[in-house]
Structures are given as C-alpha cells and as structure tokens.
Amino acid sequence: MRELKVELGERSYPIYIGEGLLQDAATFFKNHQISLKSPLMIITDERVAPHYLEPLENHLRDAGFTVANAVVPAGESSKSLTMLEGLVTKALEAGLDRKSTIVALGGGVVGDLAGFVAASYMRGVKFVQIPTTILAHDSSVGGKVAVNHPLAKNIIGAFHQPEMVLYDLNTLQSLPPREVSAGLSEVVKHGLIWDAEFTAWCEDNAERLLALEPDALGYALYKGCSVKAAVVSKDERENDLRAILNLGHTIGHALEAVAGYGELLHGEAISIGMIGSARLGLRYGASEEVYTTTKRVLSKMGLPVKLAEHFDVEAIMDAMMHDKKFSESTMVFVVPTEIGKVEIKKDVQAAWVREIVEQLKLEA
C-alpha cells in the first residue's frame, strides 16, 4: 500500500492507494473516527453498485456501522440540483445527523455529487472518497465538490475536504478500455504541469497502464495524486497556484457542455483541450517540442487529439464564456511553457482561442 498526505493543517487527510483496501474499509473508518453511533450513507451509481455496494455495506455493518445507501444514474446528468435535493431527502429519511458521514463510492461524478451533499447537508458533515475510476484520482483529491448548471459545469459548488481517500486498485479492473484511456488523460496532465520525468515515464509505460498492470497503475496514481496533493496543500481554494490543475479544462469543459455531457468523456474532452493549450503555448514562445510531445503522449494513451468536424466553433466559444475561468472580460488559460511547467495567462485574446478551436478540427 502507498500512502501520502494532503497537508492542510487541521483539514489534512491521507490518501491510501493499494489492492484490496475495500475489504478492510471498516478499519480505516474507525482509525479516522468515522462515527459508529450516527448513520452513514454510501452514494454510488448504477454502474458501480452491482460490483461493490453490497460487499461494502455488509462489511461495514458487520463492523458495527449503521449504513444507508443511495444509487443514482451513471453519468454527468446526475450532477444536478434536482439530484441533490433527492439525496438530501434520503439522508433525512435515513436519520443522518451532524456526526454522520457521506461515503462517495464511484468515479468523479459520484465524488463531486456526494461531496456537495456532504458540504451542504446540515451545513457540512464528514465524507470519505472511495474512487473506482482512474479519472477520479484527480477529482477525489482536493475538496472541490459541485453540481452542474445547464449553462456551466461545476458552477454550483464548494470546497469541502474529505476525511480520507481510499483508493482500491482492484476496483479499476472492471473499467472498460475507453474509460481507462479517459482516466489516464488526467494522469498525463499531472506530468505535463509538474514533472517532465513522469511525463516521459507515462509515455514509456503507456501499454502497461492501458493493460491495468497493478505495479504501473499504482505508481502512476501515486505520482498523479502526489502532484495534486502538493498543489492543493499550497493553494487550497485556487487563489493562484491551484489553477494550473486546469490545464486543458477551459476548452475541455466547453466541449463537454456543447456535446451534452455524453458524446465525450471528461478525460477525452480534456485531452483535446490540452492539445489546444499546447497550441496556445506556441503563441507565447513555447517550443514545438512541447506541442508534439503532448500530442504524442496523449495519442499513446488512446485519447483523441482532434475535434470532430460537427462541433460548432461558436457554440464552443459561447460555452467558454460561462466558464469560471473567464472573468473581468479576459480569458484565462493554463499554458505550457515546457514539459513539466505551465503558466497562467490572463490576457488571452478570444480571437486566438477561436482560431485554435478551428485548428483542432484539422489535427492530423
């Protein structure tokens, strides 16, 4: 088992990464003072529930916990105010109180949604992240929790840190190949923003990662979580440094919104967004190697690096205007300057971005 810590003073918490951790979840819960006296509620989705919900519930009940559950539809559409209200109703019906804990069992959607339930229920209760996708190695760390608005992704949310992140690598073995690739997009992102050597390692070990080899996967997730933890520890609420974690997200979130949160998986949209950011980097003096390396590594992970022809450029531009990274009439982008280093540019002209989105349709 690998362990690391998000250093946030009184809100610090550990990340545990290893095989078979769900089978000992009760020990982790007790070690982190998850209450035995107050009910806890596991929130998961329809894809994850058949695999892991019942075994986890039975295990926790056998250890003395009172457990309720809520199963939501899989996919981005569950991150809504309507779903939030329904989950609060379930929490009330299950008797959850101020000392209760919400457990997020699933991918990024479940983590964001369950975390926001925890942040808002009775003005905030404990929660635990149990990610079951590769993509969630990013979203499960850092305390950003949210639901979507029809006009903008993650626009209704809070910062609410978990008590711990319990990452059982065995839960990743059931992922379909497309979701494996999509999850590796955020792994690569952490290398591109922070660690050139890790980026090279990802390229060299792409086949092992796609095959879900435990040693390679455990190392990659540990490195990715380490970058996220280091950044969050220095800037919890995205006042400055944490914004570098948004590499590829300005364009990527817009693509998701235009595609109706279905045609493109989050990691696929971010992959295309990172290609756009690399192209933007060329305007700011980055070498051609930054662009070609970004494209090559993402391609080796089986990720899209080109925008489908049917996407409407103006619709994408409109969606970007609703993004949280657009403020005071200035577009904000995270731009790579070299592999492993990025800068936050707050003076990006919309005309440049429109041109780059058009170029994304022409990628070879």
For the annotated catalytic residues, the residue numbers are: 123, 144, 186, 228, 238, 242, 246, 249, 253, 266
Residue 293: name the closest of 335, 252, 255, 336 by CA.
Answer: 336
The reply, when asked if residue 111 is annotated as ligand binding, is yes
Q: Return all residues near 103 (Cβ < 8 A) that are at least 6 apart.
A: 40, 41, 42, 43, 114, 127, 128, 130
Amino acid (1-letter code) at residue 171: T
The reply, when asked if residue 132 is annotated as ligand binding, is yes
The reply, when asked if residue 328 is annotated as ligand binding, is no
Q: Which residues pair with 348 in a beta bridge?
A: 331
The reply, when asked if residue 335 is annotated as ligand binding, is no
The reply, when asked if residue 348 is annotated as ligand binding, is no
CB-CB contact of 53 with 44 (8 Å):
yes
Handedness of CA 256, 258, 260, 263 (dihedral sign): negative
Angle between helical axes of 177-194 and 288-300 (0-180°, round to 10): 150
The reply, when asked if residue 186 is annotated as ligand binding, is yes
247-261: buried (b, 16+ CB within 10 Å) or exposed (e) per residue? bbbbbbbbbbbbbeb
The reply, when asked if residue 112 is annotated as ligand binding, is yes
d(CA 252, CA 20): 33
100-134: buried (b, 16+ CB within 10 Å) or exposed (e) per residue? bbbbbbbbbbbbbbbbbbbbbbeeebbbbbbbbbb
The reply, when asked if residue 322 is annotated as ligand binding, is no
CB-CB contact of 299 with 305 (8 Å):
yes
The reply, when asked if residue 144 is annotated as ligand binding, is yes
Residue 282: Cβ within 10 Å count: 15
Residue numbers in the known binding site are 108-112, 132-133, 144, 153, 186, 249, 266
Residue numbers in the known binding site for Zn(2+) are 186, 249, 266
Residue numbers in the known binding site for NAD(+) are 108-112, 132-133, 144, 153
